[in-house]
Copies of this chain bind each other. A is one copy, B any other.
Amino acid sequence: MEKEFVKAITPRSEDFSQWYVDVVLKAELADYAPVKGCIVFRPYGYTIWEYIQAELDRRFKETGHVNAYFPLFVPESFFRREAEHVAGFSPQVAWVTRGGDEDLAERLAVRPTSETVIGVMYAKWIQSYRDLPVLINQWCNVVRWEKATRPFIRTTEFLWQEGHTCHRTAAEAEEEALRMLEVYRSFVEDYLSIPVIPGEKSAGERFAGAERTYTIEGLMGDRRALQCATSHFLGQNFARSFDIKFLDVDGQLKYVWQTSWGISTRIVGALIMVHGDDRGLVLPPTVAPHQVVVVPIVGRDSERVLAASREVTDRLRGRFRVKLDDRPEFSPGWKFNDWEMRGVPLRLEIGPRDLAAEQVTAARRDTGERTALPLSRLEEGVAELLDEVHRGLYRRALEFRQAHTHEAGDLASLRAIMEGPRGFIRAHWCEKPGCEERIKEETGATIRCLPFGEQGEGRCVLCGEPARQVVYLARAY
């Protein structure tokens, strides 16, 4: 039975894509919904999202933001006001055309993002420079009609937060856009143990309606890149379309400067793809629904073992999210596999020998390493091990990314990397859209970002013209 259990997950090395779906379904993170392209976030997966939400929300509030909630529906006329925006999002919109027993006079877009409906309200609320800055965030569901979907990574409906801010000056808005990118970077790196490359998007990859889009890009276990979060400097584009004006200190009526920024449930997909291994999910302790699982090794002396397991669990509860697995119908080995597959960072085994030695045996999920932990320093020992797992995951992911980041000087070497080891490719680009397009056509790689502070002499990887701009390229989700 145990063997069969482990076999149930396709090895990651064999078929990454199938491994991913296996982990999502078997760890009960999500399930396919009876609606095309939608998933159900099952309790185990949703709990991870709850921890992500709680920590991000804390960081947003710490940086002065407040939450609000805007309508799910956007009347078509408002949706159409910002030309680039509507062009970018129209192909992905779900439309409500009937309400109750009547056909609607005007179709309602199910929000794919909320710049438009929020713009209408901001125009009403903002009059004077005293009303600025407006620093509002919203946690909600959005819908984008997608052709090819994948649990967490790309689904028709997903959950996210979208920040929407208004400022007096361009500089302030720019500062805000970068501040929020940094909030995302530190959250994703420090909290989720996922190393990312922060930078700017090329014009071709910009958010529809933005002047500049900033991004953090991570490298998944299959050496494809994933955009983990974005922050946009919107300039005055939406302000003009929605007439969001304020009376400035100098008595002049001016358009506000805006930003928007978002991170979605897609990041749960990143967690799976960056940290997971052949045995299944591996979770950083920060977002693990259970940080520690206690497994009694019953055989002889099972009464005492169970009592000690309960005692250990009770000692840890309050300080850690700990679960005692005392189900009599499963063997310890089966439980080991089950909790490993579900990514629990630390397992504590308690058997008769541990009892005799006044210890527990701790097994780390990330390395598989087992160590004896004296009961006398149980809490400190668990805290240290969890911390080591947390830091170890980041280190391992960073090493993986470093090992899979290559330099390419021309198209031939770029193509060779894409057909071989893949990963991130660092190259120079002349900033011509034509070269960007041809790179994609020829190799499947896209410009993931123009990294901050990395410029220098070089030649465009495609056309060979002199180019100062460094870019990271990758095949992306």
A residues contacting B by CB (< 8 A) are: 31, 33-35, 38-43, 46-47, 49-50, 66-75, 78, 91-101, 107-108, 110, 117, 120-121, 124-125, 136, 140-141, 143, 145, 156-157, 159
Cβ contact within 8 Å between A75 and B41: no
A31-B121, A43-B67, A43-B68 are known; give 13 further A-B pairs, CB within 8 A. A31-B125, A35-B71, A35-B73, A38-B72, A43-B136, A46-B66, A47-B66, A73-B157, A93-B99, A94-B100, A94-B108, A97-B97, A110-B110
Residues of B within 8 A of A75 (CB): 34-35
Closest to A327 in B: B130
Residue from B33, B93, B120 in contact with A100 in the complex, judged by beta carbons closer than 8 Å:
B93
Residues of B within 8 A of A140 (CB): 141
Q: Report the minimal beta-carbon distance from A345 to chain B, rounded to whole angstroms.
A: 20
Max count, chain B CB within 10 A of own CB: residue among A33, A78, A120, A156: A33
Residues of B within 8 A of A50 (CB): 67
A177 to B46, CA, bound (A): 24
Cβ contact within 8 Å between B73 and A38: yes
Cβ contact within 8 Å between B35 and A108: yes
A475 to B296, CA, bound (A): 60
Cβ contact within 8 Å between B72 and A157: yes
Cβ contact within 8 Å between A34 and B97: no
Residues of B within 8 A of A120 (CB): 34
Residues of B within 8 A of A117 (CB): 33-35
Residue from B34, B73, B97, B141 in contact with A98 in the complex, judged by beta carbons closer than 8 Å:
B97
Residues of B within 8 A of A141 (CB): 72, 140-141
Residues of B within 8 A of A94 (CB): 73, 96, 98-100, 108
Q: Report the minimal beta-carbon distance from A396 to chain B, rounded to whole angstroms.
A: 30
Residue from B69, B74, B107, B124 in contact with A41 in the complex, judged by beta carbons closer than 8 Å:
B69
Max count, chain B CB within 10 A of own CB: residue among A40, A97, A110, A136: A40
